[in-house]
Amino acid sequence: MKLLEQKIITEGKVRPGDVLKVDCFLNHQMDVDFLCQLGEEFHRLYADCGVNKILTIEASGIGIACLTAQFFHCPVLFAKKAKTSNLSDKLWASKVHSYTHNTDHDVIVAKKFLGEGDRVLIIDDFLANGSALNALLDLCRQAGATVVGAGIVIEKAYQPGGEVIRRRGIRVESLARIASMSVEDGIQFC
Ligand code: 5GP
């Protein structure tokens, strides 16, 4: 999506450690009018898939998930970070390795909110190594829900997550795909 690529070039900052900061419009301050246009694009891509639930992960996926859900007129369910000691039989649980914090944690959703009748669109802000998306797919698998696909705002396509997940036959639509990125040379798109 050209508009998003332009926004990333003008407002994004590449940080050491292979992190793109887009906290001026996506990850801290949120440009709601702009994010609505991304939500509309996700709706265009998945409009005929019978989506009845959007699943994301706290915290940075929640905003874009909600702005997407208004076009699908469906609820947003966000996986919460939890302590292993707090897991119960009322929850689906999976593990995530946090790309930006380099830590592992459990993520959970209540069983009552995700089940066999659901046709789920997974939305997240970034796709890098695929740990967050894998955990969300795993929650859906446990629940017996159907995943129609994933909508990602920014995919770092030089990292393996997207390719590995697509090879499993899962539809992944990313609105911007970064081919390479460095502090010295800036950002190139696919
Ligand atoms: P993955 O689990 O695919 O390795 O990483 C995806 C998650 O890590 C996203 O939910 C996002 O919060 C975070 N993430 C990965 N790469 C970046 C990045 O370059 N910038 C920011 N701001 N977050 C990232």
Taking CA atoms only, the protein residue closest to ligand 1 atom 17 is: 19
Query: What pTM, to 2 d.p., does this model score?
Result: 0.96
Residues forming beta bridges with residue 13, ordered by sequence position: 21
Taking CA atoms only, the protein residue closest to ligand 1 atom 5 is: 128
Taking Cα atoms as reference points, which of 117, 133, 120 lies closest to residue 174? 133
Question: What percentage of the chain carries pLDDT values higher than 90?
Answer: 91
Q: Which two structure tokens, joined as six digits, stand for 54?
A: 């959007």
* 8-state DSSP, 168: T
User: In which band, very low, low, confident or very high, does the pLDDT at 17 lie, cut at 50, 70 and 90?
Assistant: confident
* 8-state DSSP, 159: S
* 8-state DSSP, 160: S
> What would the pLDDT profile of 146-177 be if each residue is shown by its tens digit?
999 999 999 999 999 999 999 999 999 999 99
* 8-state DSSP, 169: T
Q: Which two structure tokens, joined as six digits, stand for 107?
A: 């993520």
User: In which band, very low, low, confident or very high, does the pLDDT at 145 lie, cut at 50, 70 and 90?
Assistant: very high
Rounded mean pLDDT of the chain? 96
> What would the pLDDT profile of 92-130 be if each residue is shown by its tens digit?
999 999 888 888 999 999 999 999 999 999 999 999 999
Q: Which residues line ligand 1 (CB under 6 A)?
A: 19-21, 27, 60, 99-100, 124-133, 161
